[in-house]
Structure 1
């Protein structure tokens, strides 16, 4: 396409009337910590209603232009491209499941994820979530199953899980409980050899023997607790998928997807690395680059307000500000690195005439024919060449949800952390794009690993026992065993208590008195004398009773502290889901959130 054809006015007319941005109230979300508990906001029925409302609102914005394309046009294009890529990727995952688990596995039958999604149109409801490739605890994995249940209530819906494989792989190992119930500890079982920290998408399996034996070693580690982990049944899929991909991100995804499919879930999967190389995403990225100075202003102002609203002083939380240098270099909301490298670099852009020049680590790596007034066709052509040169241009977290919510999803499902983070995304959408942001759903939950029963001790128990010990020392007459013993000698008890009460009253009266130095010295001697007499009275009160003088309470305190320390492991909600026995895990994740009669919702498929 010639340069003149590219010169098209690009505007983002506000669908949100000026001055109508709602007040910013901090999002109040608390992790549900009780066993078998869930948090879903808004409730499932309201979340279902959110999908057609968002789709209808975004479809009407035909005058909203993104580098020459209307937002509805960009959404249709993005959804078609993403779903086509996701079907292809998911089909490969399901092929490995069939090869590893046999033709009886649901992936071999009509109705698996890729077959189901192939019958659905990109025009239908699209429900999206995402997480890193590593196994997650049940409260995070719950998002995938919520996608499925929401989709079951919407005719023609497709569910998509984005595998966030540009995040860093910190360590190829899984935490497991070890020790005893009273003295539990955390140990680590590796699923591969150690490697330099780097993006998941660049990592390949280092030690195939370690990887292949991981399922057996996890089972051995959990055998003292008499647990049979669900991982043992599906790890062969991860091993088998090595014939298609040696990347752990793909292999772990294959095993997880096989398990989900066996439980009736029909989500599609797509690595974010693949999404970032599709033309619709490159078009959207070009739009951000063409308007980068304005985006930075909006981003940094929203970040400032978020920190003030939440009382955050750190300059790096939740994200650092985007930098705008005096020489015209502007930091873009992307990462970049070269294939095979492990160090991600920040991306900078500068505008020179009708060209945007991208650089990282002070080295230019792309020249894009692009300006705020041009469409993005030529810029996309240049960005499309980067993978062949081994250059990975990837989203940061905020850019991921910005694209997913504006250009893909009718409903996006977050965990609590992502939901808090997306408070910023909402404001950026309002101010940068002039649009009412599509809604999102927040989901979290807690299912404790049933390896040992937690102790019935609370965080307040040690404090109460310490208070009781202190009271035994200074007020032994209050202890029940002392009172019982003293009841047999009331006259002796009364004499001691009367004398103690008198001494305390004298002490209180003396503490507020002034006087000369001589008088103060005299009072000091008197105070000392009263203190010693009070100690003696307390000793006599305690000695009257045949008591252990608090030894039993001290033992209870030691036991409470020991049990409380044990509960930090026994009640740990963040053990990976794959360690759980299949039945309680499936029961928690697949519990029906809707009435038995799906027609009751009015939109069931």
Structure 2
């Protein structure tokens, strides 16, 4: 199953990546043996996040890694809480400060994943661009690169919007932001593949992975929680939510490490409910979703 999953993910990633980079197939090694993977939520990257993509791309240029393939997973299943761009600005008394401008906050429905949000309008992009340029303008005499770099990125946002509207039937916020970032990366000539996590979840291999876990949920949840406890103890982490919360285990009720939602609805937890010697996939809002044979 693991090998089939790897092949299917790469097939889907290649199909997705060819939409915005028709020559991507010529940049990768079809006889790859290893996958070097990174990933993040499709937000405005700060340098500490973006360095992962840049480093991955540089690794792929090394002759020592000629049998490797790079993959960036766009975590579009995560909640889009806000989209703020932080940038340097001058205060009223001339001191250098960090300012934040929100991209979409007034239009965002709370607790929806990136894949559920539609692409922003060109009007919204234009307003965001004007607001940021207004904040950066006082710094132009000190450093023109800051303003010029943002203007380049703003063009990438516009290009991404045009591309999404022309090439996707129902493009979403995650694809839009990821594509804008990819356009901005052109100067490093990216040679790695991209794929939204939502597209990985559409495959039969992921479904098999999901079914294998829920079929063995009792033993899985016990091992899962034990390893989390060991990790927290080893690294002296007191916060029970890090690196992720333990799964809830009750007599007839076990939490599953996946999310569920309906279109336009909030992301919710799911459980295995044991009732009258039968197991059901269950959610408090949706009730019994289906019987697990």
Task: Using structure 2 for the length normalisation, give the TM-score.
Answer: 0.84
Tell me, in whole angstroms, the C-alpha distance in 2 between the residues paired with 1:318 and 1:134.
20
Match of 1:238 in 2: 160
Shift of 1:367: 2.6
Q: Residues of 2 paired with 1:240 and 1:114: CA distance?
A: 24
Instruction: Give the 3 Å change call, closer, same or farther, for CA 355–161 of structure 1 in structure 2.
Output: farther
Which residue does the alignment assign to 1:358?
281
Q: Secondary structure at the match of 1:176?
A: strand
Are 2:49 and 1:136 equivalent residues in the alignment? no
The residue that corresponds to 2:143 in the other structure is none
Name the structure 1 match of 2:201: 276
* C-alpha contact (below 8 Å) 2:44/2:84 kept by paired residues: no
User: How many correspondences in the alignment?
Assistant: 276
| Conserved? CA contact 1:357–1:364, under 8 Å | yes
Unpaired segments of 5 or more residues in structure 1? 1-73, 95-106, 370-605
CA shift for structure 1 position 169? 0.8
CA–CA distance in 1 between the matches of 2:277 and 2:33? Answer: 38
Q: How does 1:182-581 map to 2 (within 5 A)?
A: 183-192=95-104, 193-197=106-110, 198-205=112-119, 207-226=121-140, 227=146, 228-229=148-149, 230-243=152-165, 244=168, 245-326=170-251, 328-341=252-265, 343-350=266-273, 356-361=279-284, 363-369=287-293
4+ residue runs over 4 A deviation: 351-356
CA shift in 2, pair 1:83/1:353, >3 Å: farther
Residues of 2 paired with 1:201 and 1:266: CA distance?
24
Q: Do the aligned residues in 1 keep the contact of 2:90 with 2:139 (CA within 8 Å)?
A: no
Instruction: Kindly indicate whether residue 3 of structure 2 is the aligned counterpart of residue 76 of structure 1.
Output: yes
Deviation at 1:221, TM superposition (A): 2.5
Match of 2:30 in 1: 120
Alpha-carbon distance, 1:158 to partner: 1.7
Query: Alpha-carbon deviation of 1:182?
Result: 5.7
Return closer, same or farther for 1:276/1:259 CA change in 2, 3 Å cut-off. same
Greater relative contact order (CA < 8 Å, ≥ 6 in sequence):
1
Alignment RMSD, CA only? 2.5
Alpha-carbon separation, structure 1, partners of 2:74 and 2:34:
20
Residue 82 (structure 2) pairs with residue 168 (structure 1):
no
- Measured at CA, do residues 304 and 338 of structure 1 come closer, stay the same or move farther in structure 2, by a change above 3 Å? same
Q: Report whether the alignment pairs 1:179 with 2:90.
A: yes
Deviations 1:338-370 (A, max 9, x none): 1111x221110146799742111161112333x
Tell whether the 8 Å contact from 1:351 to 1:357 is kept in structure 2 after alignment.
yes
Contact kept? 1:242, 1:251, Cα under 8 Å: yes
When you count strand as a share of all residues, which structure comes out higher?
Answer: 2
How has the CA–CA distance of structure 1 residues 115 and 190 changed in structure 2, closer, same or farther, with 3 Å as cutoff?
A: farther
**Cα gap change, 1:124 to 1:309, in 2 (>3 Å):** closer
> How far apart, CA to CA, are the structure 1 residues paired with 2:59 and 2:218?
39
1:337·1:344 contact (CA, 8 Å) conserved in 2? yes
Give deviations 1:146-184, integer Å, cap 9, x for gaps.
Answer: 222222232242211000011111123322222249633
Deviations 1:15-61 (A, max 9, x none): xxxxxxxxxxxxxxxxxxxxxxxxxxxxxxxxxxxxxxxxxxxxxxx
Deviation for aligned residue 1:141: 0.9
